[in-house]
Structure 1
Amino acid sequence: MARAAALPADERRAQILDAVAPVIKQHGRQASTRQLAEAAGVAEGTLFRVFSSKEELFGALVERYIGAGLTLERVDQIDPTLPFAERLTEVVRILIGRSSETFEILHALGPPKEPDAKDRIAFRDHMLEQARQIDRAVTGLIEPDAKQLVVSPAQLAELLGGMVFAVSNPMLRHFRGSQPMRLSDEPESIVDLLLHGCLVDSTRTAEGFDHLGAEAEALRKAARSPATDPCSVATSSPGTPQGQSRQEQPDQDHSEQHHPEQDHPEQDHPEQDQSEPDQSEPDHRSSTESAAAATVN
């Protein structure tokens, strides 16, 4: 009997990751090598020829779910001949599944080690690129029906992702506790609201908001304005305008120091005032870094 051809390395890795995901969701980092190998249907030695360690396997599993690859595979399988609303419903179903599966994996594995600033920025850039890839794929599914819309396909793709996040994100539901979600997270519900709005009669009788014009203006502004790094805010000291470092401020500060009796005659102890920014700075950085770590986790 002829031996089956070996899978390409990437497909082999993906197959193993999909097979071990339920075990990791259940046992987290406590999952044994034997449990993982049995779930994947391979010997333990084979498992560690594909992944050098359990930690590498865990990292690859997280990347498979937070990355765009698995989502793009699923979006690519949507039948482009389906009616428009059904295509969007399938997209929403995939996005909800991605959000739910990612949350389950991250929750099972626990919080990651505290990243440094460089790693945090790299992670942010990576996730933005993953989101762009998914947006492009969803936009492509919408484009054949662009003439039916008052928004562009790209705008609708953004709306779709935003509504899925707002209504079905597991982390938001977790923080709501026992407070019920009033909006259904069923894919059909989200698509119905997105396409038909909240009015009983959603047929326009007059010209509505110019969504396409608003998009064009936003793109023009983005083209004129240089991109700013939001992470740079964390390096500014309290009271410093965004993008201006502490070294770029001192003209005003030096003038005040040259004539303290004129500008601040009531300050008998200027050394106490000079120490205040240093006291608040660690708290500023700590809160920013905590928020970033919470976002990653």
Structure 2
Amino acid sequence: MEKESKPRQRAPRQSVEERRAMVVQAAIPLLVEIGPSVTTLQIARAAGISEPTIFRAFADKNEVLAACLAEVTDPRHVVGELAAIDPSEPLRTRLIALIEVLRAQGERTAAVVNAVSLATQARPRESLSEEDRTRFAASRTASYERLHAAAVAVLEPDAAGLRTPVETAAGMVLAIVMALGRGGGWQAGAASVTTEGLADLILHGVLASPSQR
């Protein structure tokens, strides 16, 4: 007697928001690796879906790019990583962790922004809408303020031992890391900058101690 086969259970239907999030998470690494030439077919394969499924959530590739740009410029991920840094660790350890998180986020964001910019230049018809550009520009200040507050929290346990207010120190760290992230500053020249080296420079400056001069 043949066993009665059980009906195949269908995977739960995804909402449009869930589908969009899945596509964006698959697209961002491809934008970093491949650049603006990445296709919606490649994105679909990375997401484990069919290409037409993408267009049930996005109008076109341009809208996918806009969503990727919005995702990488949203500070919530990096703020969460900074909040996870153990405040009981020594200042140098926390500073290195702070720099590493900011550096990784900066490199990822720069790669996606560059890819989207190149795609815009290569295909003017697929350029981001003025509304998207305005929205991204308006969010920069708010994003920086959230990053700055998170950086302040990382340094706060040692605020009493700093030569400058902790808010100023956090702003300096952000400024230096962001500046290095532009134009490949981390790897410029023969002497690449390390997170440990930068942390020591911030903590101790470039002058030797009086006993070493």
Q: Give the TM-score band, short-chain normalised.
A: 0.7 to 0.9
Query: SS at the partner of 2:85?
Result: coil
The answer on 1:196 being equivalent to 2:212 is no
Question: Shift of the alpha carbon at 1:3?
Answer: 8.0
- Equivalent in the alignment of 1:98: 105
What is the CA deviation profile of residues 61-114 of structure 1, one whole-angstrom value per residue up to 9, with x for unaligned ones? 112222322322322332333322111111111111122112222222334459
Distance 1:94 1:150, change over 3 A: same
Tell me how far apart the structure 2 counterparts of residues 14 and 80 of structure 1 sit (CA, whole Å).
32
Q: Is the 8 Å Cα contact of residues 69 and 116 (structure 2) preserved in structure 1?
A: no
Q: Is the 8 Å Cα contact of residues 65 and 102 (structure 1) preserved in structure 2?
A: yes
- Equivalent in the alignment of 1:136: 149
- The amino acid across from 1:57 in the alignment is V
Question: Shift of the alpha carbon at 1:42?
Answer: 2.5
The answer on 1:170 being equivalent to 2:177 is no
Tell me how far apart the structure 2 counterparts of residues 78 and 8 of structure 1 sit (CA, whole Å).
34
Question: Shift of the alpha carbon at 1:50?
Answer: 3.4
Tell me how far apart the structure 1 counterparts of residues 25 and 78 of structure 2 sit (CA, whole Å).
13
- Equivalent in the alignment of 2:189: 180
Aligned pairs (5 A) from 1:1-297: 13-111=20-118, 112=120, 113=127, 123-166=136-179, 168-171=180-183, 173=185, 180=189, 184-201=192-209
Question: Shift of the alpha carbon at 1:202?
Answer: 7.0
- The amino acid across from 1:92 in the alignment is I
Distance 1:70 1:146, change over 3 A: same
Question: Shift of the alpha carbon at 1:186?
Answer: 1.2
Q: Is the 8 Å Cα contact of residues 26 and 108 (structure 1) preserved in structure 2?
A: no
Query: SS at the partner of 1:52?
Result: coil
Point out where structure 2 has 5 or more consecutive residues left out of the alignment: 1-7, 121-126
Tell me how far apart the structure 2 counterparts of residues 49 and 74 of structure 1 sit (CA, whole Å).
32
User: TM-score, normalization: structure 2?
Assistant: 0.74
Tell me how far apart the structure 1 counterparts of residues 89 and 171 of structure 2 sit (CA, whole Å).
21
Point out where structure 1 has 5 or more consecutive residues left out of the alignment: 204-297
Kindly tell me the number of residue pairs found equivalent between the two proteins.
197
Q: Percent identity?
A: 26
User: TM-score, normalization: structure 1?
Assistant: 0.55
Question: Shift of the alpha carbon at 1:21?
Answer: 1.8
Distance 1:5 1:190, change over 3 A: farther
Q: Is the 8 Å Cα contact of residues 78 and 102 (structure 2) preserved in structure 1?
A: yes
- The amino acid across from 1:88 in the alignment is L
Q: Is the 8 Å Cα contact of residues 75 and 138 (structure 1) preserved in structure 2?
A: yes
Q: Is the 8 Å Cα contact of residues 163 and 190 (structure 1) preserved in structure 2?
A: no
- The amino acid across from 1:71 in the alignment is V
- The amino acid across from 1:164 in the alignment is V
User: Which deviates further from its counterpart, 55-64 or 121-130?
Assistant: 121-130
Tell me how far apart the structure 1 counterparts of residues 129 and 206 of structure 2 sit (CA, whole Å).
43
Distance 1:135 1:181, change over 3 A: farther
Question: Shift of the alpha carbon at 1:52?
Answer: 3.3
Question: Shift of the alpha carbon at 1:139?
Answer: 0.9
Higher RCO, Cα 8 Å, sep 6+: 2
Q: Is the 8 Å Cα contact of residues 66 and 128 (structure 2) preserved in structure 1?
A: no
Question: Shift of the alpha carbon at 1:151?
Answer: 1.6
* RMSD between superposed Cα atoms in Å: 3.5
Query: SS at the partner of 1:169?
Result: helix
